[in-house]
Chain A
Amino acid sequence: MLEAAFRGGGRYWALLGFWGLLVALGLGAWGRQFTEGLTVTGMSQDVTWGIYIAQFTFLVGVAASAVMVVLPYYLHNYKVFGRMVILGEGLAIAAVLMCMLFIFVDMGQPTRVANVLLHPTPNSMMFWDMVALGGYLVLNLLIGAVTFDAERREAPPPHWIKPIIVLSIPWAVSIHTVTAFLYSGLEARAFWMTAILAPRFLASAFASGPSLLILLALILRRFTRFDPGEEAIRKLALIVTYAMTVNIFFVGVELFTALYSDMPHHTYPFRYLYLGLHGHDSLVPWMWFGAALTVVCVTLLLVPRTRNDLRLLPFLCAGVILAIWIEKGVGLVITGFVPNPLGRITDYAPTGVEVAVTLGVYGFGFLVLSLLYKIVVNVRERMIPA
């Protein structure tokens, strides 16, 4: 079964080569960061987390969103997702690996990474995040491998896997909840210290993750003989629509609380994001672009005719992914540091090295994803009666 990953046409190898190139680029940049220190990044004493932690946050959501196909299929016996589930689990595996790498490349002393496990500290959310992510990776690898192997042999999956699948459902919710708690438990940062952060993270995750899954499914449909099913794609689009609508509601709730109460520490971050604060407005175009994208995509997703148009859908999904990426990957992390505890504003922009390392991590994630999907496609193609 695994050998399929090493057999493929020119296009497959070109794809792997492209990801490999990104990985090489990232490794080179990380080597420089490792020898010179994090001074090669755009981070500073005021903005101590940047693009790495932001990507980590975004990708935890993508990983968690596998639950949106796992839950209907296994708990509600929703057969339509039968061929989609394994794709969701594969995406979760790749996304968790990327999350771990993004944490790793952010560390000042990467050679000491084992300290987190050598000195376990239950009162730290960072410790729990590591536990939750590690566990989630193991769960998905196990469930994916066991169920897919059973399917390949056209046999039902073994009974002992069922409770593990049930466990993976709250576990998915918990990885993104812990990630939100990482931020929302800090009294020092008013922008993050809000109870709705975890629900907001989940809502946006359940929009961006399934969107990515739709795009991947459409790509597989186009380039291979494996078809995850049109109905499954449509159903996922509906999930994206609901999640995105709920996300807009949560953001609105957040905005109301901050702006109506008019407390300086709660309004500053939003002014920084959407209007600019004391002349610092580098994120403003991003945020308005993201807002416009959200409105357009949600409107078109809400109308059944446009939502069900499979030619338009990839664009809507890409729009949703980009909008959430801007929300979590650009706005959320940096703005938590504005203003700093002494009321000053420091802007942040990633450097070339940071961008290269980021691309490298994404390259690695998509390399893993390509290998996993190749195996799936290969087995499925063989199962289709000629």
Chain B
Amino acid sequence: MEKKTRREFLKEAGTAALGLGWALPLAAAGCAPRGHNIAGSQRQWAMVVDLEKIQDPAVREAAQKACARTHNIPHIPDPQEEIQWIRVESFEHVFEDQIHGAMPPHELERSVLVLCNHCTNPPCVRVCPTQATWKRESDGIVMMDMHRCIGCRYCMAACPYGSRSFNWRDPRPFIETDAEGKFLSDFPTRTRGVVEKCNFCAERLRDGLEPACVEAVREVPGGEGALVFGDLTDPHSEVSHILRETPSRARRVTLGTGPNVFYIG
């Protein structure tokens, strides 16, 4: 009698337990939106890209070149291994969810500069198993710790913008050097097997400088204001002012990631 009762109990317990198979992962999923490194930021750096002004190839090249030289970004010829922090794509690819059949070809083919959006709710940070990428509370930059990254590339699967690049091989032989064989900057190069992306020039901000691309486009005639950088939480910043006064757009906003790179013009 007693034996039967226990078996009955086991059966019921087991059946109930089977249904609980989802519980552990779901509890984990529940942690996600309020994970410790996705807290609200005190400030939020943001960028406004003026599409009119970056139609000049000289402006785009200045931005890309400054970025590559500042961060020792390699130039790997194979596009499928290329490291890109700031790249040029056509309007129809960048704003795929905002185009329609009646748009003229010259609209669709406009050049757009794309970079990491330093999202308010970054999916890459949510999925990273080692906190090698995290959202910095002090200024909202989505940071990368190259020492911590294990190279699982989960962040690349999670990023809806294709903003991340993986070092498939040792990048050093592909980095520009001067006549003496020295790199153009002492920003650490990366090693094979880690993921990298735009860091909004966190190292320059620390020294009170603007991001390299923002500074570089200003030097180009007609490039003044092509890229504007500032604090979105400060209502008096230039980016806040522009976004108040001018119609703007951002990439794939319906996903809820909260991109902080905006486009006008």
Contacts and interface: CB of A to CB of B under 8 A. Distances in A.
Interface string B155-171: 01111111001111110
B150 A112 contact: yes
Contacts of B132: 115
Given A108-B167, A166-B10, A45 B24 contact: no
Interface stretch (B12-20, B177-185, B219-227, B241-249): B12-20
Contacts of B152: 103, 106-108, 126
Interface stretch (B121-129, B207-215, B231-239): B121-129
A187 B259 CA distance: 14
B29 interface: yes
B35 interface: yes
Interface stretch (A168-176, A211-219, A232-240, A304-312): A168-176
A341 B161 contact: yes
Interface in A35-60: 36-39, 41, 43-46, 48-49
B18 A198 contact: no
B169 A181 contact: no
B52 interface: no
Contacts of A198: 22
B81 A121 contact: no
A178 B24 contact: yes
B205 interface: no
Given A74-B14, A123-B31, A177-B21, A113 B150 contact: yes
B193 interface: yes
B166 A45 contact: yes
B25 A177 contact: yes
B21 A174 contact: yes
Contacts of A130: 129
A71 B18 contact: yes
B82 interface: yes
B1 interface: no
B149 to A, nearest CB: 7
B129 A124 contact: yes
A119 interface: yes
Contact of A124 (B23, B127, B149): B127
Contact of B194 (A44, A109, A178, A181): A109
B103 interface: no
Given A37-B168, A119-B148, A71 B14 contact: yes
Contacts of B162: 45-46, 340-342
A116 B150 contact: yes
Given A116-B130, A187-B160, A341-B160, A76 B11 contact: yes
> What range describes how many residues of B lie at the interface?
35 or more
Nearest to A192: B157
A162 interface: yes
B192 interface: yes
Interface in A62-107: 67, 71, 74-77, 103, 106-107
A11 interface: no
Interface in A325-356: 336-337, 340-344, 346
B142 interface: no
A194 B134 CA distance: 26
A337 B154 CA distance: 12
Contacts of B191: 109
Interface residues of A, number: 66
Nearest to A115: B130
B24 to A, nearest CB: 5
B92 to A, nearest CB: 8
A123 B38 contact: yes
Contact of B93 (A113, A122, A172, A343): A343
Contact of A37 (B126, B156, B169): B169
Q: Which of B11, B130, B160 has the most CB of A within 10 A?
A: B130
A102 B127 CA distance: 19
B153 interface: yes
Nearest to B170: A37
Contacts of A37: 167-170, 192-193
B151 A107 contact: yes
Given A107-B150, A181-B29, A169 B17 contact: yes
A170 B27 CA distance: 14
A43 B169 CA distance: 12
A125 B22 contact: no
Interface string A127-154: 1101010000000000000000000000
Nearest to A116: B129
Contacts of A187: 123, 160, 255-257
B102 interface: no
Given A119-B130, A188-B158, A170 B192 contact: no
A132 B24 contact: yes
A170 B123 contact: no
B10 A48 contact: no
Contacts of A109: 149-151, 191, 193-194
29 contacts: A37-B169, A38-B192, A39-B81, A39-B192, A45-B80, A45-B165, A45-B166, A71-B14, A71-B18, A75-B15, A106-B152, A108-B149, A109-B149, A109-B194, A116-B129, A116-B150, A121-B131, A123-B126, A124-B126, A124-B127, A124-B129, A169-B14, A170-B19, A177-B24, A178-B24, A178-B25, A188-B157, A341-B159, A342-B162
Interface of B: 7, 10-11, 13-15, 17-25, 28-29, 31-32, 35-38, 79-82, 84, 89, 92-94, 96, 114, 123, 126-132, 148-154, 156-162, 165-170, 191-195, 255-257
Given A44-B80, A173-B21, A177-B25, 11 more contacts: A45-B82, A45-B165, A48-B157, A74-B10, A109-B151, A115-B129, A121-B131, A125-B127, A169-B18, A169-B21, A173-B22
